[in-house]
Amino acid sequence: MKDIHPEVAIKGFGGATLISAKPNKTAEVLENVLGLECLGQEEGFLRFKSEAELGNPIDIKLTHSVRGLMGQVQFIILPGERKMKRTI
């Protein structure tokens, strides 16, 4: 694979919507572990923002989802310099 120069590299995404079987636990992780700021709740979603310019916002759907009915995300890249392990 060739090196990708910073001036042409992907700088981020417009955000993500997380669908979780345990949305409140997911919110705790975003806020208390990853350090995102909770901006509030609206129309069944809880919105978070990181300090970075890119990759915002991150929304969590607050209604519980049934596990296995949707695609599975193995990992998501969040703004910042944290190194995270893949846990799934």
What are the pLDDT tens digits along the chain (88 aa)? 578 888 877 666 677 888 888 899 999 988 998 888 999 999 999 999 988 777 788 899 998 766 655 555 555 655 555 444 444 4
List the domains of the chain with CATH numbers: 1-88 (3.10.180.10)
Q: How far is CA 23 from the centre of its chain?
A: 12
- The pTM assigned to this predicted structure is 0.62
pLDDT value for 84: 46
pLDDT of residue 5: 82
Query: Strand, helix or coil at 13?
Result: coil
Q: How many CA atoms lie within 13 A of 81 on its CB side?
A: 0
